[in-house]
Structure 1
Amino acid sequence: MSIEERLRRLGIATADLVESFTRSSGPGGQHVNKVSTAVTLTHRPSGTSVTAQDSRSQARNRAVALERLLDALERKRDEKRAAQRAAAAKIRRRNSPRPPRLRRRILEGKRNRSQLKKLRARPLD
């Protein structure tokens, strides 16, 4: 799936993305020490930010940063959907009636507890 298609599916406008460039660290020699090749990409509405400094090339780092940002936003979206599904399932379970066997077992436990407490009481004379 292409980058443009992923942006469209997530509903992200390129105007919502902010790029900033800094000097990279790591391998690359004099080039990375002189040129701002590290890319920090921020999605303004969500506040999600990623940094890429894997390559000596700023263009390659821009592409990597965009990939990482899209992955992070998709992961966030999927987690939100999963949480909504879990909440709906929880409400569905809470609203469903208890099975007859479980109700009988609960009542039996209450009867046993009641008997135990009655046995502890002082005998009537």
Structure 2
Amino acid sequence: MVSPEKQAALESRMAKLGILEADLTEKFILGSGSGGQKINKTHSCVYIKHEPSGIEIKNQSSRSREMNRYAARRDLCDAFDEIRLGKASKRQQEMEKVRRQKRRRSRRSKQRSVADKRILSNKKNLRRSPGRDD
């Protein structure tokens, strides 16, 4: 169940973004995926379409229809924020961070890393006892 405070906060956020309930088309779809009989027999998956903008959101994060309705509306608000803020949106910044982390290292960066490893290896070799040969 969604608390009344969270529901009120979501409604005020939707009002700020100019999203009206009348503009939303909502459908409940038969669930799928893991969860067994309960999820596969109930129409707990929520599909929302904002008619003026054409944004479509589908949510099945929970077994509860009410939780999915709340989450779908929250995702819709996030999508509006993303469009409005562009690169400044939180989700966009997270995606950019992951992209930078996965980016291949430059040749110079790799050379620096290998050089640092060699220096460390030489230090460790100097720590060995003098009479021992491996």
TM-score bracket relative to the smaller structure = 0.5 to 0.7
State the match for 1:43 in structure 2: 50
Q: Does residue 66 of the first structure (1) align with residue 87 of the second (2)?
A: no
* Structure 1 unaligned blocks of 5 or more: 81-125
Q: Give me the whole-angstrom Cα distance separating, in 2, the residues matched to 1:10 and 1:45.
A: 13
Q: Percent identity?
A: 43
Q: Does residue 10 of the first structure (1) align with residue 51 of the second (2)?
A: no
Q: Which of 36, 41, 48 is matched with 1:34 structurally? A: 41
Q: Give me the whole-angstrom Cα distance separating, in 2, the residues matched to 1:17 and 1:68.
A: 13
* Structure 2 unaligned blocks of 5 or more: 1-5, 88-134
Runs of 4+ in 1 over 6 A off after TM superposition: none
Q: Give me the whole-angstrom Cα distance separating, in 1, the residues matched to 2:17 and 2:60.
A: 25
- C-alpha displacement of 1:27: 2.1
Larger radius of gyration: 1
Q: Give me the whole-angstrom Cα distance separating, in 1, the residues matched to 2:60 and 2:70.
A: 11
Residues 48 and 57 of structure 2 are in contact (CA less than 8 Å); yes or no, is this contact kept in structure 1? Answer: yes
Q: Give me the whole-angstrom Cα distance separating, in 2, the residues matched to 1:64 and 1:77.
A: 20
Residues 33 and 40 of structure 2 are in contact (CA less than 8 Å); yes or no, is this contact kept in structure 1? Answer: no
Number of aligned residue pairs: give it: 81
